[in-house]
Amino acid sequence: MSQIRKKRREAFLLGNEAVVEGALAAGCSFYAGYPITPSTEIMETMAKRLPQVVDGVFLQMEDEIASMGAVIGASLAGRKAMTATSGPGFSLMQEQIGYAAMTETPLVLVDVMRGGASTGLPTSPGQGDVQQARWGAHGDHPIIVLSASDVPECLEMTVVAFNFAEKYRTPVILLLDEITAHTREKIGLPEPGDFEIFSRLVPTMPPEWYKPYEETLRGVPPMPPVGTGYRFHVTGLSHDPLGFPTARPEEVRAMVERQFRKIDRFFHDIQLVEHVNTDDAEVLVIAYGCVARSARLAVRQAREAGVRAGLLILRTLYPFPRVHAEKLMRNCRLVVVPELNVGQISREVKRVNEGYTAVRTINRIDGQIITPSQILKEIA
């Protein structure tokens, strides 16, 4: 079989633009949002690209609250839907992230982190939304939080975000930062077949047999698009397998447990990391986002200087990749966690570490990136 492979199309793209390419490759056909620096290019590019997609819908909404509402609605109607925002907009979206988690509505939310609380530093990087992404919505709810550190990864992780959302019927948050989002790099544009693309299961039984939140082996019930004959009640109240409000303790407990179980059982699938020289590392750096790039250079320089340094890059932030981190931390003498906040992932690292190894943090909150030399100083 002789197949002539065409030369892959390449482009010099922003991280934000790569997110859009990833979303379209994953089958996204709906975007609703409200522009905010530094995520605006995602919206601008979506406005250009979605009308070229079959049935593509792009909506500029009046604010972030309405944007999330539109995305949830579109997802219930069977679309793969997403929105993007930054700090202040992310805060406005929290209530409906909880709603999406409770109603098990798949969607992708990209939060491009900028500096500071409130309006803070609109055009500078930060990583201060990590804990908010996990616990921003009230109540106990499962959620998946991912991150990316360079432009090709922005594309890849957006595809992964859609896949996780569809596979596990859950909102997925992709955390970028201003530097990752606003760095231009060369990437190969995706061709059909480059990525495995998952889509949600739809019910195959007769409509009258269908129970929207039925217990299944995998914990993820099938989900029909509204208007296809399947009765489907959606509520943010605790609900029974038919989707109607209930306060009976055994039904409530079963629902919450199933929602957690559907994620917990598949940690091996969800917890994504990249290992750099970790095999024999005695000093381990754990980093994510733009700081991971500084760490990569610092670890290389440390190796050249004779220090056995290794780097664990987190692609999944929540559920925290405990399996990977724990094993490495037991075998090294020092763990260094650089991040652009006062210490949010380092809390998780310390929790998993349980006091076995020394943990040193490098925190920077002035709107500047942590430089390779700053990390090198801590590990060498």
Partner 1 sequence: MNGKDMVLARYEIRLSGLGGQGILTMGRLLGQALALYHDYHVTQTQSYGPEARGGASRADLVVSSEPISYPKTEYLDLLVALSQEAVASYAHYLKPRGTLVIDTELVRQTPSNLFLGLPFTALARDTVGVPQATNVVALGAVTWLLPFAKPEAVRKSLKASLPEKIRAANLRAFNLGYTEAKKRLGAPMAIPDATDGDGQEEERMELCNIMADD
Task: Report the interface residues with partner 1, using CB under 8 A.
Answer: 10-12, 37, 122-124, 150, 179, 182-186, 290, 293-294, 296-297, 300, 369, 371-374, 376-377
Instruction: Residue 57: count other Cβ atoms within 10 Å of its Cβ.
Output: 15
User: Cβ neighbours of residue 117 under 8 Å, at least 6 residues apart?
Assistant: 87, 128
Which of 89, 149, 138, 83 is CA-nearest to residue 114? 89
Q: What are phi and psi of 269, to 5 degrees?
A: -85, -35
**Closer Cβ to partner 1, 190 or 372, answer by number:** 372
The structure tokens 């998952």 sit at: 198
Minimum gap (Å) between residue 349 Cβ and partner 1: 21
Minimum gap (Å) between residue 14 Cβ and partner 1: 9
**Closer Cβ to partner 1, 16 or 163, answer by number:** 16
**Closer Cβ to partner 1, 240 or 378, answer by number:** 378
**Closer Cβ to partner 1, 45 or 96, answer by number:** 45
Minimum gap (Å) between residue 18 Cβ and partner 1: 13
Minimum gap (Å) between residue 295 Cβ and partner 1: 8
Minimum gap (Å) between residue 363 Cβ and partner 1: 12
**Closer Cβ to partner 1, 39 or 94, answer by number:** 39
Minimum gap (Å) between residue 275 Cβ and partner 1: 15
**Closer Cβ to partner 1, 228 or 373, answer by number:** 373
Instruction: Residue 18: count other Cβ atoms within 10 Å of its Cβ.
Output: 32
Give the DSSP per-residue string, 295-306: HHHHHHHHHHTT
Question: How many angstroms separate the CA atoms of 179 and 122, rounded?
Answer: 12
**Closer Cβ to partner 1, 9 or 138, answer by number:** 9
Instruction: Residue 123: count other Cβ atoms within 10 Å of its Cβ.
Output: 11
Q: What are phi and psi of 225, to 5 degrees?
A: -70, 140
Minimum gap (Å) between residue 123 Cβ and partner 1: 6
CA distances to 93, 98, 103, 254 from 171, rounded to whole Å, are: 12, 9, 10, 20
Opening angle at CA 252, ends 249 and 253, nearest 5: 80
Find the helix packing angle between 15-26 and 40-49, rounded to 10°: 40
Instruction: Residue 282: count other Cβ atoms within 10 Å of its Cβ.
Output: 13
